[in-house]
Amino acid sequence: MTTTPTSATSKSVAPPERSALRDPAFLRLWAGTTASGLATWALPFVLGLAVLHRDLDAAGLGLVLAARTAGFLLAVAVGGVLADRHSRRAVVLWSGLAAAVAAPALAAGLGRSLALMTLAAALAGAGQGACRPAFQALTAETVAPAHRRQANAAMTMAVRSATLAGPALTALLAAFLDVPALLLGIGLLWLVAALAPARGTVVTGHPAEPRAPRPGFRAEFLDGIREARRHPWFLAGLAALVAVIALGYSATSVALPLVSRDRYGTEWVLAASTTAYTVGALGGALLIARLRPRSQGWAALAALGAYGVAPLSLVFPVHPVVVVAAYAVAGAGIELFNVPWFTATQREVAPDKLARVSSLDFLVSYGLAPIGLALIAPAIAHFGVTAVLAVCAAACFLVPAAAALVPTTRYFSRTGAATAD
């Protein structure tokens, strides 16, 4: 049940009769999200080109990417609190500017100073992490409740499209530009992400009233955790998401190249499966923008559990087309879960705590993914790829099914009733 905070003025939303895709404020927000997605997915590819050009070695690449991940994880928690304390638009602006500044710093350090590149990568990750919960909360501020499912589908399509367009566009530009120029281009994308969203009109507190002293950062972060605990469906869904990402996604990320090489003797299976995953995700986002299952929580968890077909397809010596199709199903299932999940969070969580709860979502799901990736390879070496994939597939099927047994998960609502969105 959504509660309205007494210390905040109500947010501006698009008129209920206007589609989100026709609202200029949302389109500007969508453009900013798209630019940030392109910049995020292009950076690892550009740094890979730097390795090919011998401006960076493999060890340096690992250090720089690890610094970016560390910056992301730290900033996503801080960004959630800041976005609930201050204007969400301001958080997007400053986080985007930070990532934009990091790009020329990376270019300056390329081939000269690995320490500078590491610090710049951490700053870039921090900008990326801080803007994620702010973008999520801005969507709820900008779009009327009746259109949020459509808006979230458009947002997730932007992210998925970036996974295809980012590396592809970078590869095309690499034929004409060197690596430092490409890094500067990434900085320009972050400038678009920072400046594109419309200025917010939200203020904290009434201007005629003195503001009450705010609690410290730690207290506000813990308050966000308490808000998340008020929603059993959220905790259950988050547990299912963690299982799928930390086990299913990690296992397939490590095992797919091995299976593609050893079983099929070609890189085609790896490339086709990865592409099919993204295409399936785009199809799932298109479908869920209009699909309205009555028991939306159960339907979303069932779709999330469908990710298990990806590791399962790698267990048996099936035709390569089966593997590609399984990855397409897995991609569609992820978005059939994500869009109702984001929409329910925006509807159910108290508006003044939405960014913090969203940051908890990103922090837990993304934060545990590197742990899964680190453990899967040793597990495969010890138990064998077949056993590990079978366990991970079973977890993908069983954990979302168990989550569906938790009260309030049927509709992703504390009221235990179907919702209109």
Q: Does domain 20-145+163-197 have CATH number 1.10.3470?
A: no
Q: How many C-beta neighbours within 10 Å does residue 213 have?
A: 6
pLDDT at 367: 75
| Architecture (CATH level 2) of domain 219-403 | Up-down Bundle (1.20)
> CA separation (Å) from 123 to 75, 100, 102, 131, 369?
9, 9, 6, 12, 21
**CB under 8 Å to 49, separation ≥6 — which residues?**
170, 174, 179, 182
Q: Whose CA is closest to 307, among 366, 234, 243? A: 243
Every domain of the chain and the residues it spans: 20-145+163-197, 219-403
CA 52 to the chain's CA centroid: 28
Q: Whose CA is closest to 131, among 175, 94, 101? A: 94
Q: Whose CA is closest to 60, among 99, 116, 129, 102? A: 116
Q: What is the pLDDT of residues 88-116, one digit of tens each?
A: 899 999 999 999 999 999 999 998 899 99
pLDDT at 246: 85
Rg (CA), the chain: 21
What is d(CA 11, CA 201) in angstroms, rounded to the nearest whole number?
8
Q: What is the pLDDT of residues 318-345, one digit of tens each?
A: 999 999 999 999 999 999 999 999 999 9
* Dihedral (CA of 193, 195, 199, 202) sign: positive
What is d(CA 136, CA 139) in angstroms, rounded to the nearest whole number?
5
Q: Which residues of the chain have pLDDT under 50?
A: 1-17, 200-211
Query: 224, 76 in Cβ contact below 8 A?
Result: no
20-145+163-197 and 219-403 share one fold? yes
What is d(CA 17, CA 11) in angstroms, rounded to the nearest whole number?
17
